[in-house]
C-alpha cells in the first residue's frame, strides 16, 4: 500500500459505500493509519491530519481523522465510514490546505466554517458530528476525496491562492500561469 498522488485517475473517481464492516474494511483502516504515520515521518514540518481511502487507491467511503491536530506525539485517528455531509453552513472562510496526494502544493481554500456529518464508527455505531473551524475544513476536504474532488478544484483559476513549501517548511506563493494552469501533473489530462 502506498499513497497515490496526482494525476492518478483513481483520485478522480467516486468511491463506493461500505456495505458491511468486516475484516477487509478493518484492514483497510489499519493500513490508512499506518500510511498516514509513515508519510509524517518523511515530512518533518507537517502533520498528517487525515486521509481518505481513495488516497491509497481503495475506492471505498472511509476516512480517518487525527484525534489531536496540535500534538504530533498523539498519533491516534478516528475512522469514519460512509461519512455524509448533512449540512454545511456558517461563514465561508479561507484557510491553508494541503493534501498527501497533491505533493508540495498548498492552497487558500474557501469552505463553510460549520458542518454536520453523519457516519459510522469502526464498531458500527452511528454517529453525528458537529464541527467548526479546522475540523470542519478537514472533514469537508476528506469527504470531497470520496467523490473524486481535490482541494485544488475549489481554487482552480484563482491566481493568488496557490503556494509551495520550500525545504525549510515555509510557504512561498507560486506563479499560477507558469506552474499551476495547464499543469498535467496536477490536473491530469482532463
Ligand atoms: Ni487530501
Residue 168: pLDDT band by 50, 70, 90 thresholds? confident
Assess if residue 1 is contained within a domain: no
165 CA to centre of ligand 1 in angstroms: 16
Answer yes or no: are the C-beta atoms of 96 and 171 closer than 8 Å. Answer: yes
Could you report the per-residue pLDDT of 12-69, keeping only the tens digit for each? Answer: 999 999 999 999 999 999 999 999 999 999 888 888 899 999 999 999 999 999 999 8
Assess if residue 158 is contained within a domain: yes
Q: Is the model's pLDDT at 190 over the cut of 80?
A: no
23 CA to centre of ligand 1 in angstroms: 25
Assess if residue 82 is contained within a domain: yes
* Tally of structural domains, the chain: 1
Annotated active-site residue 142? The verdict is: yes
Which residues neighbour ligand 1 (ion) by CB within 5 Å? 99
* CATH, residue 81: 3.90.45.10
Assess if residue 4 is contained within a domain: no
Catalytic residue of the set 142, 164, 185, 189: 142
The residue range of the domain holding 139 is 9-182
Q: Is the model's pLDDT at 178 over the cut of 80?
A: yes
> Which strand (E) or helix (H) includes residue 30?
helix 23-42
100 CA to centre of ligand 1 in angstroms: 6
In whole angstroms, what separates CA 171 from the centre of its chain? 19
| pLDDT in the model for residue 43 | 84
| pLDDT in the model for residue 98 | 93
Amino acid at each position: 500500500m502506498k499513497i497515490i498522488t496526482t494525476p492518478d485517475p483513481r483520485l478522480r473517481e467516486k468511491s463506493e459505500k461500505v456495505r458491511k464492516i468486516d475484516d477487509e474494511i478493518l484492514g483497510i483502516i489499519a493500513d490508512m493509519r499506518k500510511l498516514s504515520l509513515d508519510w509524517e515521518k518523511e515530512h518533518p514540518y507537517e502533520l498528517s491530519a487525515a486521509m481518505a481511502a481513495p488516497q491509497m487507491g481503495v475506492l471505498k467511503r472511509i476516512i480517518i481523522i487525527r484525534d489531536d491536530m496540535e500534538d504530533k506525539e498523539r498519533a491516534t485517528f478516528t475512522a469514519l465510514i460512509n461519512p455524509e455531509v448533512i449540512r454545511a453552513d456558517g461563514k465561508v472562510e479561507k484557510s491553508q490546505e494541503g493534501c498527501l496526494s497533491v505533493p508540495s502544493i498548498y492552497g487558500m481554500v474557501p469552505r463553510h466554517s460549520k458542518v454536520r456529518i453523519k457516519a459510522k464508527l469502526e464498531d458500527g455505531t452511528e454517529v453525528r458530528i458537529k464541527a467548526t473551524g479546522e475540523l470542519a475544513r478537514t472533514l469537508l476536504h476528506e469527504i470531497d476525496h470520496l467523490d473524486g474532488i481535490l482541494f485544488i478544484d475549489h481554487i482552480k483559476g484563482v491566481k493568488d491562492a496557490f503556494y509551495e513549501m520550500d525545504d525549510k517548511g515555509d510557504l512561498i506563493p507560486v506563479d499560477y500561469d507558469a506552474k499551476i494552469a495547464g499543469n498535467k501533473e496536477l490536473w491530469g489530462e482532463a
